[in-house]
C-alpha cells in the first residue's frame, strides 16, 4: 500500500528482485490480500468502517481502477478453492459490484463489468445504465448507435430477466427487450444503417441469434419467429459470414433440436470452432 498512499520510492536492484519474487503464498492468502487491498482503496464498498483511504481519496479515478483490479483478481482466484474460496469470491463480487454502481462512470465498459457480476442487483444496474445510455444517444441523433451497444444493454437485461422471480417485472422486461419497439428490434434496425453497411451481416448474426435464444425461452408461442431467425442465422453462416459473434447457447439449442444426428454434429462443431470458450 506504500505506493498508493505515500509516493514512489527507489529500491536497490537486489531488494527489488527479492520483493518481486515474494514469498510463496497459497491462493487463499492471495485472495485475502487482494480483498484487503481493494477494500482499503474503496472503503465505501463496506457498510462499516475499516482502516482505509479517506473517502475523497477513494473516489479518485486511479484508486477506483486499482480497487476494481484487486476485487476482480480476488474473484477469479477463488474459483477452485472450495467453500472458503466461494465465501471470499462472494465478498469480492459484492464489493466489485458496489464499486461499479457507486463510483464508475456510465460507460459501456462499466455495463459489461456489472453484467459479469453474478448478482441480480448488478444485472438490474447494468440494464438500467444501458437503457439510459441508449436513450441519451437516441435523443442526440448526431450519429446512429452501433448494434453492439444495443446488445450490451440487452445482455444486462437478459441476465436480469433470467434471475428475476417477480412475474410482473419479467413481463415488463420482456416487453422492453423483445416488444415491437424493444431493444432487439432497435438493434436490428441499427444493422441497416449505412454507417455500418460493411459489417451488416456480422451484426445481424449477433442480434438474430440472441433474439432467437430469448424468444425460445417463451415456448411454443414464438416458435415461428424463432424458426425464421434460426434459418436466417444458418443462411448467413453457410454464405461464409464469420459466426464469432454468435453465442454458444445458440449452437447448442439449435443442435439439440435437430433430429438428424449429422446436422446436429455440424452445429456442435461450429459452436466449438467459433465459440471455443
Contact between residue 245 and residue 205 where contact means Cβ atoms under 8 Å apart: yes
Residue 34: closest CA among 113, 89, 114:
89
Res 24: pLDDT: 66
Residue showing cell 425464421: 228
- Write out the three cell numbers for 138: 437516441
**Separation of CA 77 from chain center:** 18
Residue showing cell 527489488: 16
Taking only the tens of pLDDT, the chain with its 277 residues reads 455 555 566 667 877 776 666 666 778 888 888 999 999 999 999 888 888 888 888 888 889 999 999 999 988 886 666 788 888 888 999 999 999 988 888 899 999 999 999 989 999 999 999 999 999 988 887 789 999 999 999 999 999 999 999 999 999 999 999 999 999 999 999 999 999 999 999 999 999 999 999 999 988 889 999 999 999 999 999 999 999 989 899 999 999 999 999 999 999 999 999 887 6
216 Cβ partners below 8 Å, 6+ apart?
222, 226, 253
Between CA 240 and CA 173 the distance in angstroms is 34
- Note the pLDDT tens digit of each residue in 4-22: 555 566 667 877 776 666 6
- Mapped to the 3 state alphabet, what secondary structure does the chain carry? CHHHHCCCCCCCHHHHHHHHHCCCCCHHHHHHHHHHHHHHHCHHHCCCCCCCCCHHHHCCHHHHHHHHHHHHHHHHHHHHCHHHHHHHHHHHHHHHHHHHHHHCCCCHHHHHHHHCCCCHHHHHHHHHHHHHHHHHHHHHCCCCCCHHHHHHHHHHHHHHHHHCCCHHHHHHHHHHHHCCCCHHHHHHHHHCCHHHHHHHHHHHHHHHHHHHHHHHCCHHHHHHHHHHHHHHHHHHHHCCCCCCCCCHHHHHHHHHCCCCHHHHHHHHHHHHHHCCC
Amino acid at each position: 500500500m506504500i505506493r498508493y498512499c505515500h509516493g514512489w520510492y527507489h529500491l536497490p536492484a537486489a531488494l527489488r528482485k527479492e520483493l518481486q519474487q515474494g514469498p510463496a503464498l497459497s491462493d487463499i492468502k492471495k485472495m485475502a490480500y487482494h480483498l484487503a487491498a481493494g477494500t482499503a482503496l474503496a472503503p465505501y464498498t463496506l457498510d462499516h468502517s475499516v482502516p482505509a483511504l479517506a473517502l475523497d481519496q477513494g473516489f479518485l479515478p486511479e484508486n477506483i481502477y486499482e480497487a476494481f483490479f484487486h476485487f476482480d483478481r480476488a474473484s477469479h482466484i477463488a474459483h477452485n478453492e472450495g467453500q472458503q474460496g466461494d465465501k471470499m469470491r462472494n465478498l469480492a463480487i459484492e464489493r466489485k459490484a458496489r464499486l461499479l454502481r457507486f463510483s464508475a462512470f456510465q460507460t459501456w465498459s462499466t455495463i459489461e463489468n456489472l453484467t459479469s457480476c453474478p448478482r441480480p442487483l448488478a444485472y438490474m444496474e447494468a440494464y438500467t445504465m444501458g437503457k439510459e445510455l441508449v436513450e441519451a444517444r437516441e435523443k442526440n441523433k448526431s450519429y446512429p448507435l452501433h448494434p453492439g451497444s444495443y446488445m450490451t444493454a440487452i445482455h444486462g437485461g437478459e441476465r436480469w430477466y433470467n434471475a428475476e422471480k417477480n412475474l410482473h417485472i419479467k413481463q415488463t422486461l420482456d416487453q422492453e427487450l423483445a416488444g415491437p419497439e424493444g431493444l432487439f428490434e432497435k438493434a436490428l434496425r441499427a444493422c441497416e444503417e449505412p454507417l455500418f453497411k460493411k459489417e451488416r451481416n456480422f451484426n445481424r448474426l449477433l442480434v438474430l441469434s440472441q433474439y432467437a435464444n430469448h424468444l425460445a425461452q417463451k415456448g411454443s408461442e414464438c416458435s415461428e419467429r424463432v424458426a425464421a431467425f434460426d434459418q436466417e442465422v444458418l443462411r448467413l453462416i453457410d454464405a461464409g459470414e464469420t459466426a464469432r459473434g454468435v453465442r454458444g447457447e445458440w449452437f447448442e439449442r439449435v443442435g439439440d433440436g435437430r433430429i438428424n444426428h449429422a446436422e446436429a454434429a455440424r452445429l456442435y462443431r461450429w459452436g466449438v470452432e467459433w465459440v471455443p470458450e
